[in-house]
Amino acid sequence: MNKNFKEAFEKTRIAGSIAAGALDEVSKIVKPGISTNEIDKTCYEYINDHKAYSAPLYYRGFPKSCCTSVNHVVCHGIPSEKILRDGDIMNVDVTALKEGWHGDTSRMFKVGEVSVKADKLIQTTYEAMMKAIKVVKDGVLLGDIGSAIQSHVESNGFSVVQDFCGHGIGQSFHQEPNVLHYGKKGTGEKIKSGMIFTIEPMINLGRFETKTLKDGWTAVTKDKTLSAQFEHTIGVTNEGYEIFTLSSDQIN
Ligand code: MF3
Ligand code: CO
Ligand code: CO
């Protein structure tokens, strides 16, 4: 790996661990009765305390420090006075910007007891992301990554959102390439050692179509069924990959 890759990996590792740490803090406060604004505050403060910026805040006019996407919200839910209730499922997506580099990650949180089908959706989404990450290595094609997600999701009877994708990340929040979460093996751009991008599949219990609400951000499933998402920021190496956004529980 050349010198430039080394700096990119080192800086992304730091930004990624701050983003993951913010989600670890969120996991301590999620329970029925709290508002999504309280989650936003936790993310803002954790990231600020680590001398980093919350990249979503004011990004293209986004008003908050994280996205909170509850139940049928697919992504880009805006934190508000909305109160979480027993049985809700929620994705929290945070991006830390530290010393000019970004780390972007999201996880699902269960509020109290959730239904068996919600639980299976969450589990399958996590597995799909991890299966795709395990494909990552110098020389593989983006279609190999998309296909790993799509085949796992569809064999479990769920659908892959097509309106949003993973993305290259580094000194800008969103950059080339687009990382689709569906596709065919043996197709698409070749990935190279040193590349950094996210894998962030959004998976629906029902149909894959989404629509965006009048606030210009909140994306929901058209059929109002539940949606789940996980996201990691990944670096490509000759041997495989590095996940920059593991939780401290996953590292130790
Ligand atoms: N973190 C999201 C992603 O994974 C982007 C959020 S943009 C925002 O790419 F403006 F909605 F925060
Ligand atoms: Co992302
Ligand atoms: Co994100």
Write out pLDDT tens, residues 36-51.
999 999 999 999 999 9
Q: In this structure, is the dihedral angle defined by the CA atoms of residues 31, 36, 41 and 46, taken in order, positive or negative?
A: positive
Question: Ligand 1: distance of its center to the CA of 39 in Å?
Answer: 16
Out of 59, 164, 217, mutate this one to test ligand 1's pocket (max ligand atoms within 8 Å of CB): namely 59
- The reported pLDDT for the residue numbered 248 is 84
Average pLDDT over residues 180-200: 98
Nearest C-alpha to atom 2 of ligand 1 is from which residue?
93
- The reported pLDDT for the residue numbered 250 is 81
Helix/strand/coil for 34: coil
Position of tokens 């495989």? 240
Average pLDDT over residues 144-170: 98
pLDDT for 252 beyond 80: no
Scanning the chain, the segments in alpha helix (DSSP H) are: 3-29, 36-49, 116-135, 142-155, 248-251
pLDDT for 31 beyond 90: yes
pLDDT for 155 beyond 80: yes
- The reported pLDDT for the residue numbered 5 is 87
**CB of 56 sitting under 6 A from ligand 1:** yes
Question: Ligand 2: distance of its center to the CA of 57 in Å?
Answer: 14
Confidence band of 224 (pLDDT split at 50, 70, 90): very high
| Portion of the chain with pLDDT greater than 90, in percent | 96
From residue 122, alpha-carbon distances to 27, 157, 158 in Å are 15, 13, 11
**CB of 231 sitting under 6 A from ligand 1:** yes
What predicted TM-score, i.e. pTM, was given to this entire model? 0.97
Q: Distance (Å, rounded) from C-alpha 152 to C-alpha 124?
A: 8
Confidence band of 249 (pLDDT split at 50, 70, 90): confident
Confidence band of 4 (pLDDT split at 50, 70, 90): confident
Question: Ligand 1: distance of its center to the CA of 49 in Å?
Answer: 21
- The reported pLDDT for the residue numbered 3 is 58
Average pLDDT over residues 8-17: 98
Q: Read off the pLDDT of residues 63-118 as tens digits, 9 standing for 90 and up.
A: 999 999 999 999 999 999 999 999 999 999 999 999 999 999 999 999 999 999 99
Atom of ligand 1 nearest to the CA of 59: 10
What lies within 8 Å, CB to CB, of 93 at 6+ separation is 56, 66, 67, 69, 75, 104, 105, 106, 229, 231
Among the listed residues 223, 228, 48, the one whose alpha carbon sits nearest the alpha carbon of residue 125: 228
Supply the mean pLDDT for the chain.
97
Q: Read off the pLDDT of residues 141-150 as tens digits, 9 standing for 90 and up.
A: 999 999 999 9
